[in-house]
Structure 1
Amino acid sequence: MTFISWNIDSINAALTSSSDRAKLSQEVLKKLGGYNADIIAIQETKLPAEGPSDNHLELLAGYFPGYKIEWLSSVPPAKKSYAGTMVLYKEGMTARREIVRLGAPDTMDDEGRLLVLDFDNFYFANVYTPNSGDGLKRLSDRQKWDQLYADYLSSLDGKKPVIACGDFNVAHKEIDLANPASNHFSAGFTDEEREGFTKLLARGFTDSFRYVHGDVKDIYSWWGQRIKTSKINNSGWRIDYFLVSDRIKEQIKKSEMIDSGPRQDHTPILLEIDLAC
């Protein structure tokens, strides 16, 4: 089976805008359509509470014909058109959507951050982990989210194997970002966030990219938009992951980044694994 995950940074902008950035996003969407993936996970949809419009669905079907769509948007009291997740999976596959509330702090459970589907032989979890924010003002809440998420994923793993993907907003090790020395107090690379990810893996999950590639360096999934040369200089972070239950790690065939060309921000990631749906 083939899985793709991508933080799109606004489905509406990617699908309907005519800006230069949107055109780059549309080229990425065309590329992803060529992979014929079984499941496609999208984060940071930024859709309204009522979800994708008919126009959005029609445009998505143009890139990905023959898919069912599940979505989860930010709803009150959380911010409007904020965060959000979506999963597209091939027609012919059957899945039951899990209703998930972690008991997370603040409005995190209302921000559309965790979309879980129950397939016959595995669970699929698409996550957009909360960012600790400027000045790490949300770090304490983020730590609670990490613990609750790990508990929940472990509970799923107790029933059947799990494939979890998304933007985890953490570079786990120093080799997962270009400039570790200057970022130890930056959101996404604090000791607390890294420890949270270590504890998640210790609950029985494998970072598929490291399983396949070992300690390879200089391969990232995100380059900041504020610095125009960040991607040209490969000054990036690896914060997007496919995790799998330890007991199916030997079935991993491929785990890699998908080249998004000159588009900065997140690049899509891909997992191939021998797994029946």
Structure 2
Amino acid sequence: MKLVSWNVNGLRACVNKGFNDYFKETDADIFCVQETKLQEGQISLDHGEEYAQFWNYAIKKGYSGTAVITRIKPLSVRYGLEEDNEPEGRVLTLEFDAFYLVNVYTPNAKRDLSRLDYRMEWEDRFRGYLQELDKHKPVIVCGDLNVAHQEIDIKNAKANRGASGFTVEERDKMTRLLDAGFIDTFRHLYPDRTDAYSWWSNMPGVRERNVGWRIDYFLASARLAPSIIDAEIDCHVMGSDHCPVILKIEAKG
């Protein structure tokens, strides 16, 4: 089974930059998108009858939002962490026979860290949510987690220490999540691989010089580790300031 996750930073713009071509080329069984930045009815994607689409829109226009396009029919779909949904459209959970899939766009602490306290509270709720799911069946989490976990996951660790996405607090929350029974599938397979990033600043020349951060992930319940075939980063794919990440796993859905 092939799963793809991509923060498109505005799906309508990304469609104009090759999204549909990449979607067709990658031939994923499940394709997850973050930061769709649109409302219901503002886009129409036609990938054939074999794919079903599920959308979680933010109340605020042009902001956040997640989507899952899947050829495997889910048993159930849940929008948000709480019963009254997430107003920012950050979480989509699809239940399949063999696992839960959680597509997430984690809140950004903001450059001035004004949203760090909210981020910390959200992280605790999200971890608890995943742990509850994991009691019933394995969980695969994908999306933009807005944190470079280790120094190997960021080009200029020293210069960015304490910056949004690389604070001690955010990194510690990621560690706590992994310690709760989950693995970072890319680092599980490639613990020492350097210069592997999924996001680059829009400043001139930054992406060309690969001055990036790895903040897009596929996490999985630790007991799924033997089923992981590969984890990839499609860093050559343009269309967003993020690139797609891929998980290949032995699973039937």
Please give the range of the TM-score, normalised by the shorter of the 2 chains: over 0.9
Paired residue for 1:87, among 59, 68, 74? 68
List aligned pairs for 1:104-143, cutoff 5 A: 109-143=86-120
Aligned amino acid, residue 80 of structure 1:
K
Distance in 2 (CA, whole Å) between partners of 1:52 and 1:165 is: 25
1:65 to partner: Cα distance: 6.1
Unpaired segments of 5 or more residues in structure 2?
none
Q: Runs in 1 of length 4+ with deviation above 6 angstroms?
A: none
1:29 to partner: Cα distance: 3.5
1:74 aligned onto 2:58 = yes
Q: Scaled by the length of structure 2, what TM-score is found?
A: 0.94
Aligned amino acid, residue 6 of structure 2:
W
1:14 aligned onto 2:29 = no
- Residue 230 of structure 1 corresponds to 206
Q: Percent identity?
A: 40
Distance in 2 (CA, whole Å) between partners of 1:11 and 1:229 is: 24
Cα distance change on mapping 1:151 and 1:224 into 2, 3 Å: same
1:148 to partner: Cα distance: 0.7
Q: Do the aligned residues in 1 keep the contact of 2:81 with 2:126 (CA within 8 Å)?
A: no
1:164 aligned onto 2:144 = no
Cα distance change on mapping 1:234 and 1:183 into 2, 3 Å: same
List aligned pairs for 1:157-196, cutoff 5 A: 157-196=134-173
For residues 92-135 of structure 1, the C-alpha deviation after alignment (integer angstroms, 9 at most, x for no partner) is 5233112433499xxx9310000101112210000000000021
1:250 aligned onto 2:226 = yes
1:40 aligned onto 2:31 = yes
Answer 1 or 2: which has greater helix percent. 1
Aligned amino acid, residue 64 of structure 2:
A
For residues 38-57 of structure 1, the C-alpha deviation after alignment (integer angstroms, 9 at most, x for no partner) is 10000000112xx244xx22
Q: Do the aligned residues in 2 keep the contact of 1:221 with 1:269 (CA within 8 Å)?
A: yes
- Residue 46 of structure 2 corresponds to 61
Cα distance change on mapping 1:261 and 1:12 into 2, 3 Å: closer
1:31 to partner: Cα distance: 2.4
- Residue 19 of structure 1 corresponds to none
For residues 13-42 of structure 1, the C-alpha deviation after alignment (integer angstroms, 9 at most, x for no partner) is 223xxxxxx4xx31x531232221110000
Q: Do the aligned residues in 1 keep the contact of 2:104 with 2:141 (CA within 8 Å)?
A: yes
Q: Do the aligned residues in 2 keep the contact of 1:125 with 1:165 (CA within 8 Å)?
A: yes
Q: Indicate the SS of the match to 2:235.
A: coil
Aligned amino acid, residue 81 of structure 1:
G
For residues 132-152 of structure 1, the C-alpha deviation after alignment (integer angstroms, 9 at most, x for no partner) is 002100001001111110000
Distance in 2 (CA, whole Å) between partners of 1:150 and 1:143 is: 11
Q: Do the aligned residues in 1 keep the contact of 2:81 with 2:129 (CA within 8 Å)?
A: no
Cα distance change on mapping 1:138 and 1:206 into 2, 3 Å: same
Residue correspondences, number? 253
Higher relative contact order (Cα pairs below 8 Å, separated by 6+ residues): 2
Q: Indicate the SS of the match to 1:83.
A: coil
Paired residue for 1:98, among 73, 78, 94? 78
Distance in 2 (CA, whole Å) between partners of 1:43 and 1:159 is: 26
- Residue 269 of structure 1 corresponds to 245
Cα distance change on mapping 1:61 and 1:243 into 2, 3 Å: same
Q: Do the aligned residues in 1 keep the contact of 2:79 with 2:91 (CA within 8 Å)?
A: no
Q: Indicate the SS of the match to 2:252.
A: coil
Q: Do the aligned residues in 2 keep the contact of 1:73 with 1:81 (CA within 8 Å)?
A: no
Aligned amino acid, residue 214 of structure 1:
P
1:257 to partner: Cα distance: 0.6
Q: Do the aligned residues in 1 keep the contact of 2:36 with 2:67 (CA within 8 Å)?
A: yes
- Residue 239 of structure 1 corresponds to 215
